[in-house]
Structures are given as C-alpha cells and as structure tokens.
C-alpha cells in the first residue's frame, strides 16, 4: 500500500482502465469546494481537470481513457 495524496480532503478515487491514472474529487490547494483532479497512478502532482467553479463529484474515466464524466453544480 502506498499513500498517493497528502493534504486536502480527497474522496471517490477511481483508476483509469489502463491503471495509469487516478481520478478523484478533492478540496486540494486553493479550492474551497470539491473539484476533479487526475493523478498519475504512481503518485505525483494533482492536475485540475474540472473548471474550478461550483462543486463536483462522481468522476469516472471513459473506457478508452480519452474522456471523463463528472457531476457538477452550476458555478
């Protein structure tokens, strides 16, 4: 077992079909409410993939790995 995230509040993490990336919701960094981030499966820096506005949740990779799906409140 290896810890991949540090700080913030992190939840609902799911691996991509190829196990190379993790997608999760987090209040990481400057964001006061949940946003969607991608993280390399081996660890590293979180990359914001949502707009940074509103509250987001329930993110998933499409099987081909070329798109993501998430729910969001209006900004």
Q: In the chain, where are the structural domains located?
A: 10-64
pLDDT at site 75: 67
pLDDT at site 5: 87
CA of 22: how far to CAs of 31, 46, 74, 75, in Å? Answer: 19, 10, 24, 24
What CA–CA distance (Å, rounded) separates 1 from 62? 26
What CA–CA distance (Å, rounded) separates 38 from 25? 9
Tell me the average confidence (pLDDT) per consecutive run of 10 residues in the chain, 75 residues long: 86 94 93 93 93 93 94 85
Q: Are strands 35-40 and 47-48 parallel, antiparallel or unpaired?
A: antiparallel
Q: Are 59 and 11 in contact (CB under 8 A)?
A: no
């Amino acid at each position: 077992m290896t810890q991949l995230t540090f700080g913030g509040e992190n939840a609902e993490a799911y691996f991509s079909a190829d196990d190379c990336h993790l997608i999760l919701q987090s209040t990481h960094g400057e964001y006061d409410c949940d946003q969607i981030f991608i993280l390399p499966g081996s660890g590293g820096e979180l990359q914001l993939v949502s707009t940074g506005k509103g509250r987001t949740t329930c993110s998933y990779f499409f099987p081909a790995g070329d798109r993501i799906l998430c729910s969001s409140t209006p900004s």
